[in-house]
Amino acid sequence: MAKNTKKTEAPAAAPQAPAEPAGKPAGGLFGYAPAPESPAAAGDIASSYGHFIGGQFVDSSGSEALKTVNPATEQVLAEFARGTAEDVDRAVAAARAAFTDWSALPGSERAKYLFRIARIIQERSRELAVLESIDNGKPIRETRDVDLPLVAAHFFYYAGWADKLDFAGYGPNPKPLGVAGQVIPWNFPLLMLAWKIAPALATGNTVVLKPAETTPLTALRFAEICRQAGLPKGVVNIVTGDGSTGAALTAHPDVNKVAFTGSTPVGRAIAKQVAGTRKKLSLELGGKAANIVFDDAPIDQAVEGIVNGIFFNQGHVCCAGSRLLVQESVQDELLDALKRRMGTLRVGDPLDKNTDIGAINSAEQLARITALTDAGEAEGAERWSPACELPGTGFWFRPTLFTGVSQAHRIAQEEIFGPVLSVLTFRTPDEAVAKANNTPYGLSAGIWTEKGSRILWTASRLRAGVVWANTFNKFDPTSPFGGYKESGYGREGGRHGLEAYLDV
């Protein structure tokens, strides 16, 4: 279709309708006034936190404290303990002590604890959404509409499995593993907690969980919820800290199961660490997903899917669609539409209900994104961002598009974990599949075409654990999630997610 951008004039027959009303707000005719969620809704944030061990909030054996900051303001929210090996030891011991009774409970009783937790999360979802947004920097629209509903749903789903394990396809009366050591990332703090804790508890394990060092607050709030639900002491233990704390946990000899979500290098180190032990391991690691757009794609929805694929959660998503593979015949049309759409993204205050892209989680992550995008430019890719004002304080990064990218570029190979999209092209379905698979990662992929058989053909050839067709970044507790190749092993979610916590 011919492109024609000539200036439009009102047709001669345009009616003489009344003049537009006066008093337009600034920023286009219809600029949205600030619509901030109240930070007070997050509830009281203590000035300092210890761990949650054996049903109690306890001080660390060490004296080192870490600080968690609001990445949108750089203000310190709270101090929290840097868990020591001794702290980890206490927590594992508490979990071990609780394991006997917890695993012996009838499944129907374990189920009811998890149902209680699910319901309390639903009740307190606004509080948790605001707290998550403050601690993480992600927009309230996402914590409210995505994270929290999924967190509650995940507990609800696995609650139902607790008394149905005989029917899960793992043989009669499958047994739990024991104590699970779980280490989670900062991009979806509470959701990753749910993905770890819900199946572990449903199957009769007890857990020690270490939240990420930049986002400990919702995990500590979750500990309160465990108490409200009357969960037996020691079934859930939260030990805060940094990488050294996580390493102490995954290395602990009395841990039977290690579950880790995070970067591929750390996952690889953990895999080496547990080698030769009897520990069961599941890893959900990095990704460099291809989002493949064929020329017969539903174009407007593909644009939305691309935007959702890479700019959702500031691109801090392991399964983000960070490589756009577009068929050459629709490249121009698609990129025009994509740029136009990117121009409407609203970057800013995470607590504003109209914000689409919030703050980058940490100065460290911002530096990494900056370094990789600089490398992209240096390697000759063409960089584009829409004009948008960024706040003066806090950690921010404009939604960014690179065109002219080839598979040889670092921005096509390395996980950026930020709002940065690399655009590559292809000519045939075979080429699309070859390029999509040309990465050590294999977590997810996207396919956009109106032709059903092509979706299934392409999906069957992609080496990725999750393939979205004509949609992207969809999650559901019933649907298994996890990667091929260096994106990790094991699945979380669905019936398959039980296997990681059962002795089968």
Partner 1 sequence: MSTLAANAPGVAGSGLEDVAASEASLRRFLHGLPGVDQVGLEARAATLGTRSIKTTAKAYAIDLAISMIDLTTLEGADTVGKVRALCTKGRTPDPTDPTTPRVAAICVYPDMVATAKAALRGTDIQVASVATAFPAGRAALPVKLADTADAVAAGADEIDMVIDRGAFLSGRYLDVYNEIVAVKEACRRPDGSYAHLKVIFETGELQTYDNVRRVSWLAMLAGADFIKTSTGKVAVNATPPVTLLMLEAVRDFRAATGVQVGVKPAGGIKTTKDAMKYLVMVNETLGDDWLSPHWFRFGASSLLNDLLMQRQKLTTGRYSGPDYVTVD
Partner 2 sequence: MSDVVSRLDVLKTYKLYVGGKFPRSESGRVYEVTDAKGEWLANAPLGTRKDARDAVVAARAAVKGWSGTTAYNRGQVLYRVAEMLQGRREQFAAEVALSEGVGAKKAAALVDAAIDRWVWYAGWTDKVAQIAGGANPVAGPFFNLSTPEPTGVVGIVAPQAGYGHSLLGLVSVIAPAVATGNTVVVAAAADAPLPALSLGEVLATSDVPGGVVNILSGRTADIAPTLASHQDVNALDLTGAIAADGPGAAGGLEALAADTLKRVIRPEPDPFAQDWTNAPGTDRLLSFLETKTVWHPMGI
Q: Can 284 be counted among the known catalytic residues?
A: yes
134: three-class secondary structure by DSSP: helix
Angle at which helix 243-251 crosses helix 264-274, to 10 degrees, equals: 30
From partner 1, partner 2, none, interface partner of 38 (C-beta below 5 to 8 A by class): none
Is 450 a binder of partner 1 (CB under 8 A)? Answer: yes
Question: Tokens 């303001």 identify what position?
Answer: 73
In sequence order, what are the residues at sequence separation of 6 or more whose Cβ sits closer than 8 angstroms to the Cβ of residue 227?
55
In sequence order, what are the residues at sequence separation of 6 or more whose Cβ sits closer than 8 angstroms to the Cβ of residue 235?
95, 98, 102, 201, 206, 207, 226
Of residues 48, 162, 243, 297, which one binds partner 1 by CB under 8 A?
297
Closest approach of partner 1 to the CB of residue 382, in Å? 23
Which residue, 5 or 63, has its beta carbon nearer to partner 1?
5
Closest approach of partner 2 to the CB of residue 169, in Å? 7
Instruction: Report the half-sphere exposure of 243 (CA within 13 A, side-chain side).
Output: 7
Is 265 a binder of partner 2 (CB under 8 A)? Answer: no
In sequence order, what are the residues at sequence separation of 6 or more whose Cβ sits closer than 8 angstroms to the Cβ of residue 50?
57, 58, 59, 60, 80, 81
In sequence order, what are the residues at sequence separation of 6 or more whose Cβ sits closer than 8 angstroms to the Cβ of residue 45?
77, 78, 131, 217
> Nearest-CA neighbor of 165 among 227, 105, 94?
105
From partner 2, partner 1, none, interface partner of 456 (C-beta below 5 to 8 A by class): partner 2
Which residue, 138 or 144, has its beta carbon nearer to partner 2?
144
Question: Tokens 């025009």 identify what position?
Answer: 336
Under DSSP, the state recorded for 470 is: S
Q: Can 226 be counted among the known catalytic residues?
A: no
Kindly identify the residues of this chain, within the stretch 17-46, that bind partner 1 according to CB under 8 A.
17-18, 20-21, 23-25, 28-35
Amino acid at 288: K
Instruction: Count Cβ atoms below 10 Å from residue 222 Cβ, excluding itself.
Output: 25
Is 111 a binder of partner 2 (CB under 8 A)? Answer: yes
From partner 1, partner 2, none, interface partner of 13 (C-beta below 5 to 8 A by class): partner 1
**Token code pair at residue 342:** 């990117």
What is the total count of residues that contact partner 2 (CB under 8 A)?
27
Which residue, 28 or 253, has its beta carbon nearer to partner 1?
28
Is 207 a binder of partner 2 (CB under 8 A)? Answer: no
From partner 1, partner 2, none, interface partner of 300 (C-beta below 5 to 8 A by class): partner 1
From partner 1, partner 2, none, interface partner of 14 (C-beta below 5 to 8 A by class): partner 1
Is 450 a binder of partner 2 (CB under 8 A)? Answer: no
Kindly identify the residues of this chain, within the stretch 123-152, that bind partner 1 according to CB under 8 A.
141, 145
**Token code pair at residue 433:** 């599949």
| CA gap 324, 307 in Å, rounded | 10
Closest approach of partner 2 to the CB of residue 336, in Å? 27
Closest approach of partner 1 to the CB of residue 95, in Å? 40
Of residues 305, 321, 442, 497, which one binds partner 1 by CB under 8 A?
305
| CA gap 215, 223 in Å, rounded | 14
Closest approach of partner 2 to the CB of residue 478, in Å? 5
Under DSSP, the state recorded for 421 is: E
Amino acid at 166: D
Measured in degrees and rounded to the nearest 5, phi and psi for residue 179 equal -95, 125
Is 167 a binder of partner 2 (CB under 8 A)? Answer: yes
Kindly identify the residues of this chain, within the stretch 455-484, that bind partner 1 according to CB under 8 A.
470-471
Which residue, 67 or 340, has its beta carbon nearer to partner 1?
340
| CA gap 26, 44 in Å, rounded | 35
List the catalytic residue out of 213, 284, 415, 499.
284
Which residue, 404 or 429, has its beta carbon nearer to partner 1?
429
Under DSSP, the state recorded for 469 is: E
**Token code pair at residue 356:** 């689409």
Is 99 a binder of partner 2 (CB under 8 A)? Answer: no
Alpha helices in 107-188 (DSSP H): 107-123, 125-136, 140-142, 148-161
List the catalytic residue out of 132, 213, 226, 318.
318
Of residues 103, 354, 370, 385, which one binds partner 1 by CB under 8 A?
354
Q: Are the C-beta atoms of residues 77 and 43 closer than 8 Å to each other?
A: no
Is 453 a binder of partner 2 (CB under 8 A)? Answer: yes
From partner 1, partner 2, none, interface partner of 297 (C-beta below 5 to 8 A by class): partner 1
Of residues 108, 344, 393, 407, which one binds partner 1 by CB under 8 A?
344
Alpha helices in 237-330 (DSSP H): 243-251, 264-274, 299-311
Closest approach of partner 1 to the CB of residue 297, in Å? 7
**Window contacting partner 2 (CB under 8 A); options: 164-172, 183-191, 230-238, 364-372:** 164-172
| CA gap 96, 109 in Å, rounded | 19
Kindly identify the residues of this chain, within the stretch 373-432, that bind partner 2 according to CB under 8 A.
429
| CA gap 180, 97 in Å, rounded | 13
Enumerate the active-site residues.
284, 318
> Which residue ranges make up the site for partner 2 (CB under 8 A)?
108, 111-112, 115, 153, 156-157, 159-164, 167-169, 429, 452-454, 456-457, 460, 477-478, 494-495
> Which residue ranges make up the site for partner 1 (CB under 8 A)?
1-8, 10-18, 20-21, 23-25, 28-35, 141, 145, 296-301, 304-305, 344, 353-354, 450, 470-471
